[in-house]
Structure 1
Amino acid sequence: MSTGNRHVARGVVCALAGGICWGFSGTCAQLLMDDYGIPATWITCARMVIAAAFFLAMTALRNWKGLLAVFRDWRSLVQIAAFAIFGVLLTQLSYLYAIGYTSAGVGTTIEQVGLVLIMLYVCLRSRRMPRIREALGLVLALGGMLLIATQGDPDTLAIPPEGLAWGLVSALALAFYTLMPVKVLKKWGSMLVTGLAMLFGGSAASVVVQPWSMPVELTGGALAAFVAIVLVGTLGAYMLYLQGINDAGPVKASLLCCVEPVSAMVLALVWLQTPVSVWDLAGCAFIVAMIFLVTEREPKPTSEATAVDALPGSGAVYDDPPLFAGRASVLGYYTSRPAVREDFERVASLIDVGHETFAALGIDEGRNKKYPSSRRLMHSIKNGTTHVVEDGDGRLIAVFAVSFSPDKNYARGIEGGAWLTDTNAVPQPYAELHWVSVDYRARRRGVGMFILDKADQIARAGGRSSIRADVYEPNAPMQKLLEKHGYRRCGIVAIRDVLGREKRRVGYERLLRTRSRGAAGSEEESE
């Protein structure tokens, strides 16, 4: 078996294991509520706070700069707080109440009806009717829910009305959970968003219900069940599913997680001896078939999308609905690409923004404020040196250039220090970063760090072992950003124009022996 096939096989196993772990979590919750009398509100608060501590600790270890930076973005914090209440908290609480009034299998199965709500939302947003397979999925979802609720007798309700009501609330919450955080997930990553949402939601719920005042005793089996919910049903399921996403892809992994309601129903039957009727099994089969129908299509590939982070229950916006692609969305909030001829006017205006920023910093560029000329800029666009950055809505918000040609100014040497690599070495060891400019409305949102990370990638792809930049000495914001990213201040570079006039700038260089982690941070503009 080839390495690629082994990885896919591992991904399949991990995705299945993750779905089974989520089903196991519901069964443990049913055990705690039915056998030990532990309230759903207590389980929700404790589970969310402990999980939040884990996710935030993991985020701090992987990307502590991003963890700090998100607190400077109040818009993202408001979105995460709303997601915490109406997505995470409502999902957790309604799901546990649905299980408490019915069973783990029935509650988990009814919750999956939320996928139909997501599909209907996509249809409304796209102003179209459901496609045949989507309409069939809707029919199967309603039919499966009807079979479970009536046990085959449409004149009676075989499950408690409260159980059906909470199940439908959990389905609605699943839709909120999937649709609300799309933009912040793209921008900050699932580990950070999940941790903050669980922290906000768990803290808010704790203030209201005061779980510390509840007479809960976690001893013996109750303690084991709660630890299993946290370690296996939350943290373990998340990490297993993340591995499944990385190895098998998001669509295949999301389909494999259809095992969740099945595993919850089987575990409740075998372990807790919860009665399961033929109607329950038929309803479960209908809803599992519905999941396959509404998540069947592979999403369109997205430029520079990276499978780095994944969030249980999240969705991603693709050009061709259905929107829901399973429990993981793996898009980057910002993307970059080589500029094309049609970008010329916008690129020129972004570079003008950079010149305006220099003026605001008190930098006298002299004749350089007309640099680069239109001819030079168009030439740079044609040869692929200039790159643009787009936000999640496809708007051009920044520009930068990475050059591989020797710089005669660098060849003349550097005062008060030395470059980290040999300027005269053959082949040339360094690339050069120039023309970094970020639009006013996109500042302090991580764009600068994104550009530096992309420039690293471009330099590596070009076979270079370092990347250099030169910065006006009064441009302290850009110098701080470069140093934060790992650039070393090497000395003073004399930049001469065609008439021999000289400008002095600070030379920076960064070795590319190891891969840097891009993080959100403060940024400004520079040459």
Structure 2
Amino acid sequence: MAAAATKEAAPRRNHVARGIVFAALGGICWGFSGTCAQLLTSELGAPVAWITCVRLLMGAAIFLVACLVKNWRSLRAVMRDKRSLLRIAAFSLFGVLLTQVSYLSSISFTNAGTGTVLERLGLIVIMLYVCLRARRRPSLREAVGLVMAIGGTFLIATKGNFGALAIPAEGLFWGIVSAFALACYTLIPGKALEKWGSFIVTGLAMLLGGTVATVFVQPWNIPVDVTPQLAGVMVAMVIIGTFLAYLFYLQGITDAGPVRAGLVGCVEPVSATVISAVWLGTPVLPVDILGMIMIMVMMVLVTQRGEASKQPADAYEGSTDDLPPFEGRASLLGYYRARPAMHDDFVRFQEILADGHEALAAAGVDEKGSKTYPSERRVMRAIDRKTAYVVTLAGRDDGAAQDANERIIGVFALDPNGDEVYAHAMGASWLSASPEPPEHTTYAALHWVTVAAEARRRGVGMFILGEADRLAKAAEKVSVRCDAYEGNDAMRALLVSFGFTPCGGITLFDRFGRARRRTAFERMW
């Protein structure tokens, strides 16, 4: 047991260390972005609003082109994932866009140092949220690291001048907003990042944020003299200070968790100070050096796991999946395709159905003698009739029916002639009226939706419902009907999120007259 636990813990520690490195790289790139912004605004005359629109849209273009080249199937797949799209939209508006608007507004009413310190107070919000969600207290290392991060940022941003923190009401308001925006930026995208990876999430977020900003700012109406020097600095800012900064920092959130990534991101003022001194000749004062030392101490503290390694793994402490950098779970598996099941698929078909029975038992669902449903004979008959389907990882894309290297990760059955059991069922209020006999039914019946244990929570179930929808429409049916156990909350939620309507409780009778209680669903178009 101990050996197994150690083996499982090793990838987690590697991911945390990798996440800290990426979060630090993201902060360094943001420091470079700040130096570019200083040069663009103070010497080259580019307004902040114009810079914001251009950098977001150019950054989005780079990300999305990279996604199309790298894994276009995942980019297509995320468009079917409504929950992820909503999370990405929230991240874009309340994280990416609001962070820039509130931070710049805070600076306009105060100064750069005060605005930076107020924004970094968002680290407190992040730590409080994570601790409340995980039901734990902040560790001593986290608390000391937080003090060091905010203190070091204060020294570098204000040069130790306490008088610089005289805050008007407007500046305080926008500073508090920027702190919460930083928390949103760090906390909101976690699940989407874990599923789809930082390329897709950041590209779509930047596209939406840049589009919204462009609509309101209308940068084409802002006079800007685009000289070769301005264009060169802008390109460098987009590639290093936007593309790489967002890519690295969000990967840091995925691997190391929001608390560590947020704290390590405080290396940004250190990076900005050093780059500005080397590039623009800005003097470095002793108080800057003291602030840098405090931030370096903070990074050493949060790099060590300390007592946290003895605690149970928590989703907010960083990813435990063994994923390559910048890849999410769905991206790692790739996109899927469905095909009619063949006789050679029978054994794997049965294995996945058995996985489903185990999952229902683990969820506390009493199948009441249905653990052998569907029978082997029924499965084979469905295979013969071409109404049984398997979901596979995308193999060859040459139209071949079967790829020797494909992996079957899900199964389902869709009968365009409906299900005669529904004709004798009691209790359901179906959306459509379907005449009998079965060959004249106007609906298709969906059954046996099961995903292999290793492929769950990766969008396979949503893909199956989409395929069932497509197949039913191709058969010129007006709806898809199905049923689910009343205790199968995961399946019920999946059906509703896809657009199925609950049609009430239904009592089904098998050929021996035995009653089974289910919840009926139908999707009609």
Q: TM-score, normalised by structure 1?
A: 0.54
Is residue 2:243 matched to residue 1:228?
no
State the Cα deviation string for residues 198-255 of structure 1 (Å, max 9, x = none).
1111101111111111111221332221111012222345667899999xx869x969
Within-5 A mapping of 1:248-397: 259-294=267-302, 296-297=304-305, 319=314, 322=317, 332=329, 343=359, 345=361, 368=378
Matched, 1:52 2:66: no
Number of residue pairs matched? 377
CA deviation profile, 1:24-56 (whole Å, cap 9, x unmatched): 111001111122232211111111111111111
Answer yes or no: is 1:157 the counterpart of 2:157: no
Secondary structure, in 3 states, of the residue corresponding to 1:438?
A: strand
- 2:38 partner amino acid: Q
Partner amino acid, structure 2, of 1:447 = V
1:433-478 C-alpha deviation (Å, 9 max, x unpaired): 78555369x9997316999xxxxxxxxxxxxxxxxxxxxxx99849
- Indicate the SS of the match to 1:52: helix
1:69 corresponds to 2:77? yes
Q: 1:289 to 1:12 in 2, by over 3 A?
A: closer
User: Does the CA contact (< 8 Å) of 1:11 and 1:244 recur in 2?
Assistant: yes
Is the 8 Å Cα contact of residues 40 and 97 (structure 1) preserved in structure 2? no
Alignment of 1:68-467 (within 5 A): 68-95=76-103, 111-147=119-155, 151-152=159-160, 154=162, 156-157=163-164, 169-237=177-245, 259-294=267-302, 296-297=304-305, 319=314, 322=317, 332=329, 343=359, 345=361, 368=378, 437-438=448-449, 446-447=459-460
> What are the equivalent positions in structure 2 for 1:456-495 lying under 5 Å apart?
477=471
- Once the two structures are TM-superposed, the CA of residue 321 in structure 1 deviates from its matched residue by 5.6
Distance in 2 (alpha carbons) for counterparts of 1:51 and 1:95: 20
**Is the CA contact 2:193–2:201 (under 8 Å) kept in the aligned structure 1?**
yes
Any conservation in 1 of the 2:391–2:408 contact (CA below 8 Å)?
no
C-alpha spacing 1:208/1:342, structure 2 compared with 1 (3 Å): same
Cα deviation, residue 194, structure 1: 0.9
Q: Give 5+ residue unaligned stretches, structure 1.
A: 1-8, 302-316, 357-364, 373-398, 403-416, 422-428, 452-473, 481-520, 522-527
Report SS of the residue matched to 2:129.
helix
- Tell me the secondary structure at the aligned position of residue 280 of structure 2: coil
Given that 1:52 and 1:198 are in contact with CA atoms closer than 8 Å, whether structure 2 keeps it comes out as yes
TM superposition shift of 1:179: 0.7
1:42 aligns with 2:39: no
The answer for unaligned runs of 5 or more in structure 2 is 1-16, 334-351, 383-389, 394-399, 413-447, 475-497, 499-525
How many angstroms does 1:119 deviate by? 1.4
In structure 2, the CA distance between the partners of 1:220 and 1:62, relative to structure 1 (3 Å rule), is closer
Contact kept? 1:15, 1:241, Cα under 8 Å:
yes
Q: Does the 8 A contact of 1:79 with 1:181 survive in 2?
A: yes
Cα deviations across residues 101-127 of structure 1 (Å, max 9, x unaligned)? 899888767655433431121122233
Contact 1:118–1:324 (CA under 8 A) maintained in structure 2: no
| Shift, 1:73, TM fit | 3.1
The answer to whether the 8 Å contact 1:150/1:159 transfers is no
1:340-371: CA deviations, max 9, x gaps? 99646369969979979xxxxxxxx9952699
Separation of aligned partners in 2, 1:353 and 1:341: 6
Is the contact between residue 83 and residue 177 of structure 1 (CA under 8 Å) also seen in structure 2? yes
CA distance in 2, matches of 1:273, 1:159: 28
Percent sequence identity over aligned pairs: 48
Q: Name the structure with the higher helix share.
A: 2
Paired residue type of 1:61 = V
